[in-house]
Each structure stands twice: as C-alpha cells, then as structure tokens.
C-alpha cells in the first residue's frame, strides 16, 4: 500500500530517534555502541577510506568502545 507521508511527521520521527540516541549517550553509552554494532553495514568487507588527501583500502572489522572504526589494513 502507498502511504502519503507528511513532511512534519517524518521530521518528528527523525527528531524523536535522535533525541533517544542523545539520551543514550548520557545515560548508557555502552548500550548505544552495542546498538550501533548490531546495525553496522559493510562489516568484514573491504572498504575505501578517504581521509583528507590520503586514500586506502581496508577491511571494516567493527567499532571500538569509543565508537571509532576498526579497519584492518
């Protein structure tokens, strides 16, 4: 079925989600990291990293407890 979405409804849903994630950063940051780990795309796949003028390939292995990417080169 096709459903018409009202722009304000979409924005409200996005803001609700972001507010929940922001709250998690203060109350339970480890839960936020774990939630993110479960939803990661390209895990154990080759990726291209572009950092400034440097470009390199690596395998995305996950994120650490601070939320930084773990890339095997």
33-50 pLDDT per residue, tens: 998 899 999 999 999 999
Question: What was the pLDDT predicted at 4?
Answer: 72
Question: What was the pLDDT predicted at 1?
Answer: 54
CA dihedral 63, 68, 72, 73 (to 10 degrees): 160
Question: What was the pLDDT predicted at 21?
Answer: 87
**Could you say which residues of the chain have pLDDT below 70?**
1-3
Question: What was the pLDDT predicted at 51?
Answer: 92
Question: What was the pLDDT predicted at 45?
Answer: 98
DSSP state of 57: E
Q: How many C-beta atoms surround the C-beta of residue 26 within 10 A?
A: 8
């Amino acid at each position: 079925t096709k459903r018409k979405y009202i722009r304000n409804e979409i924005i409200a849903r996005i803001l609700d989600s972001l507010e929940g994630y922001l709250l998690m950063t203060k109350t339970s940051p480890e839960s936020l990291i774990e939630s993110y780990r479960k939803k990661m795309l390209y895990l154990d796949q080759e990726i291209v990293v572009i950092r400034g003028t440097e470009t390199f390939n690596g395998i995305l292995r996950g994120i650490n407890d601070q939320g930084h990417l773990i890339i095997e080169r």
